[in-house]
A = this chain, B = another copy of it.
Amino acid sequence: MRERPTLSIGELSRLTDVNIETIRYYEKVGVLPAPSRTGSGRRIYGSRETRTLAFIRRSRELGFTLDEVRALLNLGAPANATCAQVREIAGRHLKDIQGKIADLTKLESLLNKTIKRCSGRAVPECPVIDVLDVRRRNADA
């Protein structure tokens, strides 16, 4: 697993399934540390950066913002953080997600009900438009 710790950016990209431009972007915004370079200026990565990048990717998949990822990495790096601190960040994130699910679920049921009433006829009787159009909604109430 660590027999070749000298990867080019393209190899790292294929290995972690993260775009080359995204890797450079992560470096620019300071979430992935700047790696060392070859004589001609090309980036070379080792297993440490590979792990960090994979961590970032996984966190992003779980919907953490880059700010949150930075915080998690800072907790992990000095190895002096407690699980409770990690749990706080993750817990806030969980609340965010639950809020979004609740919002989307409301939208979903409204849209679903509305679309089901759709006739396919001309627009003046379209229930979707009715739901969107404030004038008609006010006339309803």
Q: Enumerate chain A interface residues (CB-CB to B < 8 A).
A: 51, 54-55, 58-59, 62-63, 72, 75-76, 79-84, 86-87, 90-91, 93-94, 97-98, 100-101, 104-105, 107-108, 110-112, 114-115, 118-129, 131-135
Contact = CB atoms under 8 A, between A and B. Distances in A.
B55 A118 contact: no
B91 A115 contact: yes
A65 B35 CA distance: 39
**Oligomeric state, in copies:** 2
Given A111-B94, A120-B83, A134 B104 contact: no
A65 B93 CA distance: 25
A124 B62 contact: no
